[in-house]
Amino acid sequence: MSEEDVDMEAPVPVRVKGVFIAESEGSSPAPVVLLEDDQARIVPIFVGLSEAISIHHALSGELSPRPMTHDLFVSVLEFLSASITNVLIDDLDSGIYYARLTIKGENKQSEIDARPSDCLALALRSHSPIEVQEKVVVESSISKSDVEKLTAIENYLQ
């Protein structure tokens, strides 16, 4: 299939590969979440430290002794008989990713603009599908050699 045959507006299912730390000379270490599709294309999403820890805990199944913000949000949705149906990272503009969280209630479904980091943390907790628009995957994918330069976040949390 050629690039002309690809629908750049089509959502691509992805999975969270992990949470890492990107280190570069002259700047502070930055947390990054890697998303991977079925073609092994990797999309890096830079996030804040607290969101990185929240995503890491959700990936590893760790529970906090007290509910954190993302846990609270999922609990509130459950109380309201609502659920997250999917997350879509749909745009990249000047290095900033944009995402939408789809929530379905008893009689209504709504898309809500949200930070990708929050969307990822919530999707992992609610076991909801995560998708990235094809155009975003094409524009932001990184190489395997770039991934090898990253450090697992566990090394920073000890």
Domain extent, residue 108, equals 3-157
Please state the domain count of the chain: 1
Q: What is the CATH number of the domain that holds 86?
A: 3.10.690.10
**What pLDDT is attached to residue 5?**
67
Q: How many residues does the chain have?
A: 158
Question: Among all chains, which residue has been given the structure tokens 């898309």?
Answer: 111
Q: Does the pLDDT value for residue 48 go beyond 70?
A: yes
Q: Are 157 and 31 a contacting pair, CB within 8 Å?
A: no
Range with lowest mean pLDDT among 58-62, 63-67, 71-75, 130-134: 63-67
Rounded to the nearest integer, the mean pLDDT of the chain is 92
Q: In which band, very low, low, confident or very high, does the pLDDT at 49 lie, cut at 50, 70 and 90?
A: very high
Tens of pLDDT, residue by residue over 142-151, are: 998 889 889 9
